[in-house]
Amino acid sequence: MVPIQRQKQNFLENLVTSFYNLFGIETLYNEQFHLEIKQGRKDFRRTRLINPNLVGLNLDGINLSEVNLNRVNLSEASLKKAQLHKTKMVGVNLDSTNLKGANLSRANLRDAQASWADLRNTNLSNTVLSNANLTGADLDQSQSILEAETWFTKFDHTRLPDGVILVRYFLFFPFPVKKRL
């Protein structure tokens, strides 16, 4: 029974891969991705990564624009000057990751775990950081942090760019009070 299930799974995976190939999207499994990195490839736009293991990798200068990295573990990786424009990174683990000088404009990092990440001099314009954990992260000289969506983002012990002050406040909405007669 197990071989039949495996055949069905392989058939479905081949069908999905063929569908992506119709639109010019390359599919790479973890081993293939690592081989491409070793051979010096830097541009992975229009690529679909299957089960990537990116913990601690040196990915400096890589272009992963518009790639789906949802729930991928990138902890302790180096992504200096990486192009991550419009990259989907929902629930990604970026703990202790070096993203110095990276372009994260319009990326979606909702629910990201980025404790102690180096985000110095990054482009964060229109980046979604909602519900992200940036505890201890270094955002010094980051561009456009004020344009990022930061609802419920945790900034404990975070180093912010000069001139940016974190203010926590509550909005109180006045409700009309009925007058008693």
Helix/strand/coil (H, E, C) string of the chain? CHHHHHHHHHHHHHHHHHHHHHCCCEEEEHHHHHHHHHCCCCECCCEEEECCCCCCCECCCCECCCCECCCCECCCCECCCCECCCCECCCCECCCCECCCCECCCCECCCCECCCCECCCCECCCCECCCCECCCCECCCCECHHHCECCCCECCCCECCCCCCCCCCCCCCCCCCCCCC
Q: What are φ and ψ of residue 36, in 5° steps? A: -65, -40
Mean pLDDT of the chain: 88
pLDDT at 113: 98
Highest mean pLDDT among 17-31, 49-63, 139-153: 49-63
CA 158 vs CA 98, 107, 155: distances in Å: 15, 20, 5
Q: Among 70-79, 105-114, 166-175, whose mean pLDDT is lowest?
A: 166-175
pLDDT at 23: 72
Q: How much is the pTM?
A: 0.82
pLDDT at 148: 92
Portion of the chain with pLDDT greater than 90, in percent: 69
Neighbours of 138 (CB within 10 A): 20
What's the pLDDT tens digit per position in 126-139?
999 999 999 999 99
What's the pLDDT tens digit per position in 44-93?
999 999 999 999 999 999 999 999 999 999 999 999 999 999 999 999 99
* pLDDT at residue 43 greater than cutoff 60: yes
Q: Which residues pair with 151 in a beta bridge?
A: none
* pLDDT at residue 3 greater than cutoff 90: no
Residue 145: pLDDT band with limits 50, 70, 90: confident
Cα gap 149→127, rounded to integer Å:
6
